[in-house]
Amino acid sequence: MNYGNEQPESDHSFANQGVAMPVRPIFGYRLSTLLLLFVIAAVVLAWWSRRQRAIEIEENGIAGTWVMVNDAGSRVIMPDGKPLIVEFARSDFRVDPFQEPKQIDFVMQNGSGESTGIYRWEGDQLRIKQASRDLHRPTSFIQSDLNFNTNGSIMLTGPSSVTMFLLERLDKRVPK
């Protein structure tokens, strides 16, 4: 019987009965779950892209030709009278600028492994502290574990050593 306030019994609409419409799952997931997964994936992708861009900027800044200088800013001169020149190709090293201190790993040219180190920017100069491949990565720039030559430059003390050096860019290009 219909008293005027009720819907006819033949109307099978869920909306008219106050019942929520069932959500059809897509691939077994509700639409809200798929949307949440999409947002999470977009955030992770944006984070990863930003991280890779920061690494690329650091590597571009380090790649190039450098001359070794002492703390007073004078070039370190080799026994043959020439300055000590260092060339870094992007394939020679990897960096992690998100660590404190920033980390750098050098790939040995002869394929004998890697040498680990730390680095920091001092204005336009680059300070690197590097351990030989059989030692742990340095954790600070304290000079107590280094050996110095009489001219103030740091010397290697054998196959197991820690070396710290200050570099000044020789090619005055602006890193990209």
Residue 11 lies in a domain: no
Q: What is the DSSP letter of 137?
A: P
| Tokens linked to 19 | 């019942």
pLDDT of 105? 94
Determine contact, residues 85/63, Cβ cutoff 8 Å. no
Number of domains in the chain: 1
Say which residues have a Cβ less than 8 Å from residue 173's Cβ, sequence separation at least 6: 64
Determine contact, residues 131/139, Cβ cutoff 8 Å. no
Residue 9 lies in a domain: no
Span 14-73, pLDDT tens digits: 555 566 656 566 666 778 888 898 999 999 999 999 999 999 999 999 999 999 999 888
Q: Taking Cα atoms as reference points, which of 107, 159, 166 lies closest to residue 132?
A: 159
Domain extent at residue 142: 17-176
pLDDT of 163? 85
Asked whether the bond before 138 is cis by omega within 30 degrees of 0, the reply is: no
pLDDT above 90 (res 6): no
pLDDT above 80 (res 164): yes
Q: Which residues pair with 50 in a beta bridge?
A: none
User: What is the chain's percent helix, strand, coil content, to nearest 5?
Assistant: 25, 30, 45
Q: Which residue has the higher pLDDT, 24 or 158?
A: 24
Q: Taking Cα atoms as reference points, which of 84, 87, 89, 82 lies closest to residue 65?
A: 87
pLDDT of 125? 93
pLDDT of 150? 47
Residue 6 lies in a domain: no
pLDDT above 80 (res 13): no
Q: Give me the torsion for CA of 59, 61, 62, 67, rounded to 10°.
A: 170
pLDDT of 131? 87
Taking the CB of residue 140, how many other CB atoms lie within 10 A of it? 10
pLDDT of 26? 61
Span 88-128, pLDDT tens digits: 998 899 999 999 999 999 987 776 778 899 999 999 899 99
Euclidean distance between CA atoms 89 and 65, whole angstroms:
9
- The stretch 127-153 carries a mean pLDDT of 73
pLDDT of 101? 95
pTM over 0.75: no
The span from the first CA to the last CA of the chain, in angstroms, equals: 81
pLDDT of 33? 85
Residue 163 lies in a domain: yes
Say which residues have a Cβ less than 8 Å from residue 75's Cβ, sequence separation at least 6: 67, 68, 69, 83, 84
Residue 10 lies in a domain: no
Residue 22 lies in a domain: yes
Residue 1 lies in a domain: no
Residue 84 lies in a domain: yes
